[in-house]
Structure 1
Amino acid sequence: MLEDLLQYENEEESSDVKQERFSTVRSRELGEHLRRVRRQTNFKTGQLLEMLEWSAGKLSKLEKGTRGTSPCDIAFLLGALNVDLKTREQIIALAEESDTGSFLRLHHCALDTLPALLVDEDEAVDITSYDPVGIPEMVQTEDYALALIDDPDLVAARMRRQRPPKGFLGRRMTVFIHESALAHVVGSTWTMRDQLLQLALLAGSADTSIRIIPRSCGLHVALCRPATLLTLDPPLRPVVHVETDVATVFHDDPGIVEVYRNKMRQIDRLALDHAQSRELLAQWSDRYDTPEPRPGGAL
């Protein structure tokens, strides 16, 4: 019986390859939820596969989001893992969503723990981000982030996002920052000084580009709203996420992604070049270079 099933799974996996069934941002999110649930149990992988009579390939594809999932498969897996009713209902609801290329995920006050975000950031080979009023979260210092969201757990999650589990090798990042963000004091002048020094340090690295949009360029439609574009290795499609106060919207529909690619191209034309950006960062850093003691009396 098991040998026949494994043969069937191998044929099914081969069929998947022929059909070139690739994952989407929503299917990878669902797979990440399944992976987390499995890791929270005491089941060994081999023990689980034997119980389900599944191949390792089938389980791997489900957790990577590269396999079409059926409600039967997911219910079978969650039942075997003895998942509680609330979690089971949440995952089944995710599985039953229509994959339209866009979806919204609610959050508390920041997006830093959303599985849909984390799984794709870890795989991204290029990140392009813009914020019209603040420093984008991927280059914030810990003190700057804490002054903004006042939640140590979320700040810790944000700092982990800045350190990808696979390391920085091969991942590029371009961060567009409006000059107004350099003028807005977040926390204290020491917080701003440390933040600008970190930006200047990052601007000198090989894998990170810090570009400043000067206030002199005036208002442009591309500058009105924030966005982040994640580029993944093909055949995975690029992903865009846009944060609001209570939710983040994700897109991987090619037509919508192209709108945001054009947005970033327009911002690129408005931004200062690398040398000019570093010079402006240095000027703003000097403005925050104050002899006043740090909070708590430290020098």
Structure 2
Amino acid sequence: MVTEIAEKIHRQPRLSTALSRELGEELRKIRRRARMGSAETADALGWSLGKLSKLETGSRGTSPGEIGALLGRLGTAPPTRDRILAIAGEPATGSFMRPHRTAPDTLTALSLHERMARTITTYEPFTVPALAQTQDYTRALTGDSAIAAARIARQEALHALHNLNRPHTILYLHESAVRGIVGGPAVMRDQMLRLAMMCETTRVTPRLIPMDAPFDQTVLRHGALLTFAEPIKSLAYAETDTATVFHEAPQIIAHYETKMLRLDTLALPQAQSRDAFTYWADVYDKAT
């Protein structure tokens, strides 16, 4: 009986974590850059194809020595090798931080999980949410054309998904973001028009929290919550100026779930949000 139970436990698939999926995606990208097929790579290391496949999807782990051997076989440059080995050695605490320059758009942990998500819910108190920004708005906001291009590519990666796989996305923004002029009236007019048009879609919905909404601690800080198909756990993240912190610990996820529910009660409905964006587009158009 004990043997049967042990065999059943052994056969159960290992549940991936955000950290293991990030590591697997980083390894897959490195292998593809090296122009090596999965079968070729597995054979060169004496691994089964299934072992490599599960490693790249985050559904199994392996030792740092084997990760090092894989990176060496792929001819990985020392800085990249050190970064990947650091990820592989991180303890599974339910939270991890990834540094970046001005913005997190090219972080593997972010782009991977956005593409996997079933739902994405974000909130921004002072700027238009990244997934709704026009290229001109992003460029004016960051002063960096490369970041603007990466942000548009991030949006397009989600739009490129088949409609059934595209995440339902709700983007909460405070009216402060609408009133704060970024890049001048023409940039703001085009940005407001885009937000108004997005209100007509079924997959991405911007919703405005008006200035006269009751003050609440919820509106002070931005945040994002991603949910996935079972059995993958939800993932939350928050940005700082130089890093993004990802969380999947249950108590932190519960905090973000409560935050998003509260924002839902404070935000205008979709139609009223569209009317507000249209109004501000007209205001900025008259100022051009």
Asked if Structure 1 and Structure 2 have the same fold, meaning a TM-score greater than 0.5 normalized by the shorter chain, the answer is yes
Match of 2:185 in 1: 189
Match of 1:4 in 2: none
- Which ranges of structure 1 fall in alignment gaps of 5 or more residues? 1-13, 293-299
Match of 2:195 in 1: 199
Match of 1:169 among 156, 164, 170: 164
Match of 1:48 among 41, 50, 54: 41
Any idea what SS the aligned residue of 1:174 has?
strand
- The amino acid across from 1:39 in the alignment is R
Query: Are the equivalent residues in 2 in contact too, given 1:16–1:67 (CA < 8 A)?
Result: no
- The amino acid across from 2:246 in the alignment is F
Count of residue correspondences? 279
CA distance in 1, matches of 2:81, 2:102: 25
- The amino acid across from 2:67 in the alignment is I
CA distance in 2, matches of 1:182, 1:112: 22
Any idea what SS the aligned residue of 1:130 has?
strand
Match of 2:97 in 1: 104
Any idea what SS the aligned residue of 2:245 has?
strand
With normalisation by structure 2, the TM-score equals 0.92
Match of 2:269 in 1: 273
Any idea what SS the aligned residue of 2:207 has?
strand
CA distance in 2, matches of 1:270, 1:176: 10
RMSD across aligned C-alpha pairs, in angstroms?
1.7
- Could you list the per-position Cα deviations for residues 81-124 of structure 1 after superposition, in whole angstroms to 9, with x for gaps in the alignment? 22232222221111111010101111100001111111101111
Query: Are the equivalent residues in 2 in contact too, given 1:104–1:247 (CA < 8 A)?
Result: yes
- The amino acid across from 1:126 in the alignment is T
- The amino acid across from 1:48 in the alignment is T
- Could you list the per-position Cα deviations for residues 27-80 of structure 1 after superposition, in whole angstroms to 9, with x for gaps in the alignment? 111111111211121333332222112222111111111112321321221122
- Which ranges of structure 2 fall in alignment gaps of 5 or more residues? 1-6
Match of 1:233 in 2: 229
Deviation at 1:247, TM superposition (A): 0.7
Q: For 1:199-218, what aligned pairs fall within 5 Å after superposition?
A: 199-218=195-214
With normalisation by structure 1, the TM-score equals 0.89
Any idea what SS the aligned residue of 2:227 has?
strand
Name the CA shift for 1:226/1:51 in 2 (closer, same or farther; >3 Å): same
Match of 1:257 in 2: 253
CA distance in 2, matches of 1:17, 1:275: 52
Match of 2:110 among 80, 99, 117: 117
CA distance in 1, matches of 2:117, 2:74: 30
Match of 2:67 in 1: 74
Query: Are the equivalent residues in 1 in contact too, given 2:214–2:266 (CA < 8 A)?
Result: no
Q: Which moved more, 1:37-46 or 1:259-268?
A: 37-46
Q: For 1:79-94, what aligned pairs fall within 5 Å after superposition?
A: 79-94=72-87
- The amino acid across from 2:191 in the alignment is Q
CA distance in 2, matches of 1:16, 1:25: 22
Query: Are the equivalent residues in 1 in contact too, given 2:122–2:225 (CA < 8 A)?
Result: yes
CA distance in 2, matches of 1:146, 1:167: 28
Aligned-pair identity (%): 43
Any idea what SS the aligned residue of 2:212 has?
helix
- The amino acid across from 1:202 in the alignment is M
